Amino acid sequence: MRRLLVLLLPLVLFACSAPSPPVARTALKTVGYFTDWGVYGRDFQVKDLDTSGAAGRLTHLVYAFGKVDGGRCAAADTWADYQKTMPAADSVDGVADQPTSPLKGNFGQLRKLKARHPGLRVIWSFGGWNGSGGFTAAARDPQAFAASCKSLVGDARWAGVFDGVDIDWEYPNACGLTCDSSGPSGLDRVLGALRSAFGPRALITAAVPADPGKLGKTDYRAAARSADWLGAMTYDYFGTGADGGGDDESDRHRVEPHAALNAYAGIPRQSANATATIDELLGAGIPPAKILLGIPFYGRGWTGVTADPPGAGATGPADGRYEKGLEDYEILATRCPPTGTVGGTAYARCGSQWWSYDTPQTIKTKMAYARKKSLGGAFAWELSGDTPHSDLLNAVASGLAAQP
């Protein structure tokens, strides 16, 4: 009982301060990913979700990533997750962590964020591009995997912070950074075991690929039965090859929008757009309300470009702050503003560089599409790419809430 009181004391003290009143949210889901590594070089803190207004517009926040180690759920970055002592300047309530604080790091800040925004639900995501190798073992013993996830999420140090788990398996029964051969029912077995372990009130979600070749390898209709939603990663259709965007090496030398809503004249692959992906998922029998449309908060870019339209030649990836061929919207909006739109997304040519990315205007078009298709909402990958005033997320939330 003494341990329980110690854990609850920060909540009681924080509740005594006046939290901001709940913000009205659309019935559709406005979901955003927050990455653990963002607190380092990007200096994107949980507090920024509050000061930018993002927390008041989100219905769900997904924390990425936990890892899958030996077929079991585990924390991937224990320092950022719950050990880092947050200074007052980076704290949601302006109160610094103490060395003796029962919970520190991002998890401690998430607890404070939820106290300030009572309607916000938080989900812990496992896997990702670099961390999906362990899912093969998880699919061999899904019950043990689910039990480990429940134990981890319910750890007494951060009990109540998370409302469920997200599975970002890239890709079940297909190849990403690693290859999996769990069979078409692998994801269904994992999600079904998670639902049984966590119960009907917990949130169980999963990210799904946009490539029809990968979609055809897994029974996503069966997987959807246990999931609250499937988040369609409707971006990175084209990119600069070696950085993970695009399907083949030839993408490095041809500019194309990486997150088109629909096909356009001259598109190299007719399936490389969000409408084609959503139609594939709907055609598989997945209820539209269980599908979320993915929105990138970053652009992909090329250099050595001498013409404006998509399809122009390039010499390779443009420089980005953290990765070649990739840059946050916040930077691109001012450094290389849009010069045109194609396929329902924006592109920009500045000097010899060519970038494609979504803007508040193109996002509103995508949200109108999501409403028309009766989708469950949309999600953003990922929130650190937005402006300090959450211009992109505001477009997602307001676009979903707009009347037909």
Residue 277, token pair as written in the block: 């992906």
Longest dimension (CA), the chain: 69
* Residues 85, 90, 92, 97, Cα dihedral to 10°: 20
Q: Compute the distance between CA of residue 354 and CA of residue 369 in angstroms, rounded to an integer.
A: 26
**Nearest-CA neighbor of 246 among 231, 260, 232, 266?**
260
249 a catalytic residue: no
Residue 243, token pair as written in the block: 């950085």
What DSSP assignment string belongs to 325-372? TEEEHHHHHHHS---EEETTEEEEEETTEEEEE--HHHHHHHHHHHHH
Strands 121-127 and 164-168: parallel
The angle formed by the CA atoms of residues 58, 109 and 152, to the nearest 5 degrees, is 90
Q: How many residues does the chain have?
A: 404
Spell 297-325 as b/e; 16+ CB within 10 A means b.
bbbbbbbbbeeeebebebeebbebeeeeb
Active-site entry in 170, 280, 327, 382: 170
Residue partners of 179: CB distance under 8 A and separation at least 6: none
Q: Compute the distance between CA of residue 261 and CA of residue 263 in angstroms, rounded to an integer.
A: 7
Active site residues: 170
